């Protein structure tokens, strides 16, 4: 039996817009097991990305607790949160967020610069991560010299280079053509099944969600359905 890697307890998030309160999430309880591959679905404004950002520690809940790998991340200071995030999770963005003046290898290396590590060890890890995503031959290429699918695979290499337990992905195929999207989804499946990474992915695409083990649906800030997935 796998243990819970992520636990949300009574999580709500309210944003203040002028004189109005906007409820993004309301009283969400959610367990995600270590090794699961989960898709978050729902209409725009349903709270999917807010939920992902809370798990990543990019934002803090208004009420409730977000516990990741036994750590209540709301209780971490800024420095502790940064160190926890670098070591504990990788984040994949829809628009890649690569730095255009850096090569693929230099983009992948960025998280490692925040860790105490020799240059040789950083180089080894970067090459390993690029090999995992099938882009060892693109290490010295710049983002402008790559296709969108290749850029996203570099971004995935950057997300896994610190060997985190958890990978969070916000619409990772939303800016890709069908073939590139399929390649990225296959890579995420491999990271989950072969390397045991826990993956939580926000998507609007039912085909992408179908590649996950479990689909969690949100509407108006609430979890409305959580079909049983494949046991892990």
Q: Judge whether residue 45 has pLDDT over 90.
A: no
Each residue of 146-175: pLDDT tens digit?
999 999 999 999 999 999 999 999 999 988
Distance CA 51, CA 8 (A): 10
Lowest mean pLDDT among 56-65, 78-87, 196-205: 78-87
Q: Judge whether residue 85 has pLDDT over 50.
A: yes
Q: Judge whether residue 228 has pLDDT over 60.
A: no
pLDDT at residue 95, as a whole number: 85
Lowest mean pLDDT among 13-27, 55-69, 156-170, 188-202: 13-27
Q: What is the mean pLDDT of the chain?
A: 91
Q: Give which of 21, 31, 18, 20 is closest to 221, Cα–Cα.
A: 21
pLDDT at residue 224, as a whole number: 87
pLDDT at residue 229, as a whole number: 44
DSSP code of 157? H
Q: Judge whether residue 232 has pLDDT over 60.
A: no
Distance CA 161, CA 164 (A): 8
Angle among Cα 14, 88, 147 to the nearest 5 degrees reads: 90
Which sign does the torsion angle of CA 175, 178, 180, 184 carry?
positive
pLDDT at residue 88, as a whole number: 87
pLDDT at residue 132, as a whole number: 92
pLDDT at residue 231, as a whole number: 40
Which sign does the torsion angle of CA 171, 177, 178, 181 carry?
negative
pLDDT at residue 1, as a whole number: 55
Each residue of 7-39: pLDDT tens digit?
999 999 999 888 888 899 999 999 999 999 999
Span 35-58+76-225 CATH architecture: 3-Layer(aba) Sandwich (3.40)
The alpha-helical segments, DSSP class H, found in the chain are 48-56, 78-88, 104-109, 119-132, 148-160, 178-193, 206-209
DSSP of 165-231: SEEEEESTTTTS-HHHHHHHHHHHHHHHHTT--EEEEE-S-HHHHTTSSEEEEEETTEEEE------
């Amino acid at each position: 039996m796998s243990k819970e890697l992520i636990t949300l307890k009574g999580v709500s998030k309210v944003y203040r817009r002028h004189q109005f309160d906007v409820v993004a999430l309301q009283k969400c309880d959610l367990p995600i097991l270590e090794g699961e591959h989960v898709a978050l679905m729902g209409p725009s404004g349903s709270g999917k990305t807010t939920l992902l950002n809370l798990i990543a520690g990019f934002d803090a809940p208004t009420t409730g607790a977000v516990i990741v790998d036994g750590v209540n991340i709301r209780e971490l200071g800024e420095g502790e949160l940064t160190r926890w995030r670098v070591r504990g999770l990788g984040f994949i963005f829809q628009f890649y967020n690569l730095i255009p003046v850096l090569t693929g290898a230099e983009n992948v290396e960025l998280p490692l610069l925040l860790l105490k590590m020799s240059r040789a060890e950083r180089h080894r890890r970067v090459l390993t991560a690029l090999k995992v995503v099938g882009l060892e031959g693109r290490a010295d290429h710049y983002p402008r010299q790559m296709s969108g699918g290749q850029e996203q695979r570099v971004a995935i290499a950057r997300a896994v280079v610190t060997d985190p337990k958890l990978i969070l992905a916000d619409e990772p195929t939303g800016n890709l053509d069908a073939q590139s999207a399929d390649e990225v989804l296959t890579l995420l499946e491999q990271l989950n099944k072969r390397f045991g990474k826990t993956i939580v992915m926000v998507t609007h695409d039912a085909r992408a969600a179908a590649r996950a083990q479990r689909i969690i649906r949100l509407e108006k800030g609430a979890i409305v359905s959580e079909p049983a997935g494949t046991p892990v």
